[in-house]
């Protein structure tokens, strides 16, 4: 895809939309259903709210009070030991409306609340339910539609729209391990997913709230599962588009618009040998030695370089093998990950030749996944960058519209124990996302 220019980001807009019953209705393309209540029903999930007096209920008790309302209990008010009780009418439960306090959560508080719900791939169920409930409240207030779609058992994409979406704000809800709870200082919010991508989700939601307060409609929010492993949620969404003309994908770019991103090529190497007593190695055949030889040959492969995206890179991500220190190993496995900068054919051929040349027998090179490198759109008025990581954008297959890539934070601290996102960039992202939605709507 070649870069093209979009007019400068300025101005505001306001329009109207329609609504339907979320619980009883259905939508074309697999969305709009109550997607397997056993797995997607919002019951008994963890919620934490630190340093905030803003609450909303994501778990309703089954008991009724004398006023024919149901009471949800969550957390405790800051500085008190008392639980915060939030009330919703029986009618709200019938229509699937979401009960929350009248005050919206600040982007910092929402970021921390999301971080404090572990969502390591493929365990996104609880954060998905949390987002579904939060967006249900937003849709109830602003005449929108919120839906979830079960990608796999206990794994649901969440989509909310207000009118007919021209622009969709989207990112993933899963994280890499290990789970790291949130903390905060004067400059940063820390924790797993702070920049990749819990803070981005919060910025997108708050931007949506601001747009709706201004009367702006015809946009959506899409949060998907599985980006950190195989883009399962994006692949599912690609099969069930909703008519969006643009998708703003959120990943940490320092709030700069990415002109391109590298692709991904994953392989698994399996080496097989024969066990023996380590005192008599000549009676065995070391699978680990075979694997090391194959990996050494792979490391010597010359990978391509692109003028825009830079060099293709190799990472040997995992190595497993052996039975015990005194046993000649009969099996060993490694996983490798290559960042693509162009067509993969030459790289795939070179890897096969390297492994075959190193050891003719005993090592398998098994293809796992490929995501192509992409070129993205420039928008006048926004600073640009190029990123080396892979995103969900290729998995959407263009089904959700022309892609753009932007988000707060830096990838340099993502996937680390020091993951964090600057508070200022979260606030800036709220404004940037609003402006992007408004300007992209004007192009239609």
Please, which residues have CB within 8 angstroms of residue 233's CB and are 6 or more apart in sequence? 151, 155, 157, 172, 224, 225, 226, 227, 392
Mean pLDDT lowest for which of 24-28, 151-155, 271-275, 291-295?
A: 24-28
Strand-strand pairing, 246-249 and 183-184:
unpaired
Separation CA 361–CA 354 (nearest Å): 13
Grade residue 360 by pLDDT with cuts at 50, 70 and 90.
low
Q: What is the pLDDT of residue 443?
A: 92
Total residue length of the chain: 444
**324 burial level (CB within 10 Å; 0-12, 13-18, 19+):** exposed
In terms of C-beta distances under 8 Å and separation of at least 24 residues, what long-range contacts does 352-358 make, across chains too? Answer: 354/294, 354/297, 354/298, 354/300, 354/301, 355/269, 355/294, 355/297, 355/298, 357/297, 358/293, 358/294, 358/296, 358/297
Global pTM reads: 0.71
Query: What are the tens digits of pLDDT across the range 134-152?
Result: 999 999 999 999 999 999 9
Tell me the backbone φ, ψ of residue 376, rounded to 5 degrees.
-120, 180
The domain 263-371 is placed in CATH, from the list 3.50.50.60, 3.40.50.720, 3.20.20.70, 3.30.70.360, at 3.30.70.360
CATH 3.30.70.360 domain span(s) along the chain: 263-371
CB atoms within 10 A of CB 253: 27
Separation CA 69–CA 89 (nearest Å): 4
Q: What is the pLDDT of residue 379?
A: 84
Structure tokens at 318: 């995992």
Separation CA 274–CA 287 (nearest Å): 7
SS3 139: helix
CATH 3.40.630.10 domain span(s) along the chain: 5-32+104-259+374-442
DSSP annotation string for 357-402: HH-SSSEEEEEEEEE--EE--EETTS-EEEE-S--SHHHHTTTT-E
Strand-strand pairing, 219-224 and 155-162:
antiparallel
What CATH number was assigned to the domain covering residues 5-32+104-259+374-442?
3.40.630.10
> For the chain, how far is it from start to end, CA to CA, in angstroms?
20
Residue of 435, 432, 412 lying closest to 424 (CA atoms) = 432
Structure tokens at 424: 């200022």
Residue of 89, 82, 53, 48 lying closest to 68 (CA atoms) = 89
Q: What is the mean pLDDT of the chain?
A: 81
Whether 42 has a pLDDT exceeding 70, the answer reads: no
Active site amino acids: 227
Q: What is the pLDDT of residue 380?
A: 83
Grade residue 48 by pLDDT with cuts at 50, 70 and 90.
very low
CB atoms within 10 A of CB 355: 22
Whether 117 has a pLDDT exceeding 80, the answer reads: yes
Structure tokens at 168: 């969709």
Query: What are the tens digits of pLDDT across the range 212-240?
Result: 999 999 999 999 999 999 899 999 999 99
Question: Mean pLDDT throughout 285-298?
Answer: 94
Grade residue 6 by pLDDT with cuts at 50, 70 and 90.
very low
Q: What is the pLDDT of residue 81?
A: 33
- Asked if the bond preceding 197 is cis, omega within 30° of 0, the reply is yes
Q: What is the pLDDT of residue 378?
A: 81
- The structure tokens 């050494």 sit at 296
DSSP annotation string for 246-301: EEEE---STT-EEEEE-EEEEEEEEEE-B--BTT-GGGSB-HHHHHHHHHHHHHTS
Is the CA virtual torsion 125, 130, 131, 132 positive or negative?
positive
């Amino acid at each position: 895809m070649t870069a093209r220019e979009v007019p400068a980001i300025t101005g505001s807009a306001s329009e109207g939309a329609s609504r339907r019953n979320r619980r009883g209705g259905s939508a074309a393309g697999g969305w709009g259903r109550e997607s397997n209540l056993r797995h997607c029903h919002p019951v008994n999930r963890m919620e934490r709210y630190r340093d905030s007096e803003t609450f909303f209920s994501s778990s309703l008790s089954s008991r009724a009070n004398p006023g024919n309302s149901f009471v949800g209990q969550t957390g405790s008010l800051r500085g008190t030991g008392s639980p915060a009780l939030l009330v919703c009418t029986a009618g709200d439960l019938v229509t699937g409306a979401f009960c929350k306090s009248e005050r919206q959560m600040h982007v910092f508080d929402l970021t921390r609340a999301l971080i404090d719900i572990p969502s390591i791939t493929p365990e996104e169920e609880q954060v998905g339910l949390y987002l579904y409930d939060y967006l249900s409240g937003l849709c109830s207030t602003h005449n929108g539609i919120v839906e979830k779609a079960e990608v796999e058992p206990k794994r649901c994409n969440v989509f909310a729209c207000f009118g007919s979406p021209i622009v969709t704000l989207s990112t993933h809800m899963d994280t890499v391990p290990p789970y790291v709870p949130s903390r905060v200082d004067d400059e940063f919010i820390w924790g797993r997913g702070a920049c990749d991508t819990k803070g981005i989700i919060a910025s997108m939601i708050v931007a949506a709230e601001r747009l709706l307060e201004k009367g702006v409609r015809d946009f959506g929010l899409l949060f998907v599962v599985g980006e950190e492993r195989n883009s399962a949620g994006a692949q599912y969404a690609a099969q069930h588009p909703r008519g969006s003309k643009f998708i703003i994908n959120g990943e940490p770019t320092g709030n700069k618009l990415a002109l391109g991103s590298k692709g991904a090529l994953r392989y698994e190497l399996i080496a097989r040998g024969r066990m023996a007593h380590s005192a008599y190695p000549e009676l065995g055949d070391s699978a680990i030695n075979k694997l090391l030889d194959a990996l050494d040959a792979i490391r010597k492969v010359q990978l391509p370089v692109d003028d825009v995206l830079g060099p293709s890179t190799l990472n040997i991500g995992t190595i497993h093998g052996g039975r015990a220190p005194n046993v000649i190993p009969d099996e060993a496995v490694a996983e490798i990950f290559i960042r693509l900068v162009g067509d993969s054919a030459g790289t795939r051929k070179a890897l096969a030749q390297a492994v075959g040349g190193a050891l003719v027998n005993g090592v398998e090179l098994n293809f796992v996944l490929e995501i192509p490198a992409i070129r993205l759109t420039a928008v006048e008025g926004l600073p640009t960058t190029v990123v080396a990581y892979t995103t969900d954008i290729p998995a959407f297959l263009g089904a959700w519209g022309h892609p753009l890539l932007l988000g707060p934070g830096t990838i340099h601290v993502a996937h680390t124990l020091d993951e964090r996102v600057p508070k200022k960039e979260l606030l800036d992202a709220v404004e940037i996302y609003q402006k992007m939605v408004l300007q992209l709507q004007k192009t239609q």
